Structure 1
Amino acid sequence: MPLTKLRILTDRLTGAERRFSLRTLVALSSLPLFGVVAAFGLAPDTNTHDITPETVVEAIALPALVSASNTGTFEREGVIQSGDTLANALSRLKIDDLEIQRLLGTGAVRQLASSIRVGRRIQATTTQDGQLVTLQFERGDAPALTVRRQGDSYVTEEGSALMETRVVMRSGRILSSLYGATDSAGIPDKIANQMAETFSTSLDFREDLRRGDTFSVIYTVDYRSGEPVATGKLLAAEFINAGKAYRVVLFRDASGREDYYTPEGESLKKGFLRSPLEFSRITSNFSKSRKHPLLGYARAHTGVDFGAPTGTRVKATGDATVAFSGRKGGYGNLLILRHPNGYETYYAHLSAFATGIRPGRPVSQGQVVAYVGTTGASTGPHLHYEVRIAGRPQNPMTIKLPGSAPLNMAQRARFQQQTANWSDKLALLRGTNLAALD
């Protein structure tokens, strides 16, 4: 055989060996992967065209199917959200639309539709197709209202949940901020706000707060069936700032009016607030001669101007009776309040008066009486505020304001009877430094 042909034949055999070795390697490496799927394999280059396919049928016993029952029920709970209608809230509970329309047609549910409150809970039990079984509405201080299907109609019943008020005592320490400390102590924001407002006549929590200051509070919580449903009121509190203790207790007089006092019976309520706005800046001070921004000549400025956006709430600086509310010359919309002892306060350039404000109506200190505006002779939104004594304008920022009337002898006896218990409990909290006591 010629050498060239022998070389070509050798090369072909070598190539075939390579292909066979590669195929063998792939087949062997695939066995761990495909061996689970099939228990057989085909050798390389096996001819499968002459194999007759055969179908194998085998009966397999299946477990009996559990039939879906239409008697099953679903329980869902929702919370009223801002902007909700009752229909929207019920729809989120997967109640059938036609069922919702029928519900809203019943008397009790129709009344609830106009008085739902954000945060209130609704619980529904429905069938699988959305038909109502029971519906329960949370109603604040009142027992829950339950709507129950009865045939093709509905019946309503009030729950028998037990309502009770519990007294809670807690204490804390300032590490960074007042609200950070009250959160760490588990004190509700409502109580923290009451505490901050009550001590505001003695402490400025933005400037006076010190790391390491401590506080104790006694307050009420309303429970329904053992579950807390509402935070009540602050009964007593102590704040120790830079080593100095400040205490307050709540006192209700014979007429039912409540105010905070020191344990010695001194009222924390000042006769007048210094400013009728919560947040503002003085844009023009009291002056006997000021160049008027519109008239262009000097004249007396008989009050103080507080710059604030239109619509800012204006509060009465003291207990009073409305003497005038209406339009008056350069004052624009003007409110005049008449206080005891010959004091009057003026609130001018208002955009609007609060609901119910009219001559002869009594108002209390801190009550919203009007809203900032720019009516009358005004160059922009602000409140012109005056204090007058016997008709003469006084500087609201420097005048000595009267305090609250002291308790009389009969009130002092009632005060001691009501508040002694809270003072003792504050002393207990201070002495034991309890973090929480329910």
Structure 2
Amino acid sequence: MRVAEVFGHVIGADAPIRLVAYDGSKSGPDDAEVALRIESPRALARLASAPGTLGLARAYVTGEIDVEGDLYTALSALADVTLNGVSKGDFARLLATVGPVWLKYRPAPPELEARPRGRLHSKFRDSQAISHHYDVSNRFYEWVLGPSMTYTCAAYPRPDATLEEAQEAKYDLVARKLALEPGMRLLDVGCGWGGMVRHAARTGVHALGVTLSRNQAEWAQEAIRREGLEEFAEVRHLDYRDVPETGFDAVSSIGLTEHIGKKQLGSYFRFLYGKLRPQGRLLNHCITQPHTVNKRKVDPFIGRYVFPDGQLESPGLLMTEMNDAGFEIRHEENLREHYALTLRDWGGNLEQHWDEAVAEVGIGRARVWRLYMAACRLGFELDNIQLHQMLGVKLGEHGASGMPLRGWRAEGVW
């Protein structure tokens, strides 16, 4: 059986994708919108050494597999393989074809793969993991994320809203949930490039942000100076566990919990609880698994190339950990469709700046990002992953929450 025919059997005869292999073989409809090109026998060796998403990703990152047409469309056609891996039966067929190739080539993993050292979720190792993903290039992130420099799920007020409108709506939503008012104090942990910090500061809130990425902290501080917000805003290159101040009116955690680890969730929420005054609020915004997982499970491509040591938990577990840390849970919602739209727009930005991005970070890293954003967009659309916001309050004396009987400042939130 020739190479394209083997792959065609794996992805299924009805898949709307054309396969073209280096041995001249072809499979699939000639008029397919996208084509998967197997450029080298080394791609087969990748699949033999790491079946499923990791092998496919390694081959794509190195250019041993390429895609003609839109990558998201190709992944949609390959959804069963990319999201669920290759079945044992299909892998056996592949192995019969690629086994001799693997013995000949045995390619080493690409150098872009992260290999953090030290104890899992120690400060030293967490710093390495965060640096791998975020200390890439601020210029690169400006092209991908757009003017807001916001690297978390937006909240689209309308289907046709721009990415910038949606990111501003997200920050406004967080501010309303936290009931931020002028003169209050906000702690934003894992603050990124300081988007929430600057949003709060523009309304007279005293906001402190912390991040493990030096590049992010430097960019954020410059943005604060540029906007004349020094009186109200500060971003530090600091582990959230080293923040000395207490008595904050509110804490926002937007996209940090994914990096914490299951065993550390209790201490994480207890730490944030200790930073709040009585009746202070926590808004936790993070990616989750749709179902409870008993073992540490991260897509190997994401773990090696995108978020080293990342870990996704179920919304039920997160809510339990928040509750057990002392928070009263007051509101929760799933924004997964919004994250699919956010990734769509980030992917569009990358394509618009593709040549500049390649020149800035290299073709391998640019391909990592293209693949990661397209695959995650599909994951959110298919409910393979979700995005949840949970609002908790630290009760005061006699159970006083400080919450209104219904909703909060702004009509139509509940």
TM-score with structure 2 length normalisation?
0.23
- Structure 1 or 2: larger strand share? 1
Bigger radius of gyration = 1
TM-score with structure 1 length normalisation?
0.22
Higher relative contact order (CA closer than 8 Å, sequence separation 6+): 2
